[in-house]
Structure 1
């Protein structure tokens, strides 16, 4: 099975296999991939549904990262600014809805 790029977002097709997904991941994600796979694979009984969910989730990350590496970099930089407190807090959901005239 191979991935087809989304319309308007060209990118390389990444086969949905453990080897192909791991190879397509940004270097910063490989350790997390390996750790999560080891946790699933070394269980007394391997949960095949969990293994499939694992591969699907990481395949999506690999496809998105390959389609737009710069966007992925920006997302991680923004996440770090939020974690470190360097990004000011935005409006709350209630404030956004109030501005739009929505009622909860």
Structure 2
């Protein structure tokens, strides 16, 4: 059984439909999801760009650096605190970029 069983039919001109389609494509949402978000008053952001692979690569690089530092610290009994703090700060920056790119404000 459907949760949404009320149907609305809306007619658009060719230009209006083209404008709506462009916005939907930029958001990477379905047409229904885009319209529901717009009606709910949510800000509909553009979908992720081609920079997503670069973000993933950066997160992996920072994670690998942290892992190497922690392994070295564990085997020697020492900890390279300045390098660890720098890598943690880098990781937080990348996390913020990803969160900003993929979440919509409430």
* TM-score class, shorter: 0.3 to 0.5
TM-score for the superposition, normalised by structure 2: 0.34
Q: Name the TM-score, length of structure 1 as normaliser.
A: 0.34
Q: Which has the larger radius of gyration?
A: 2
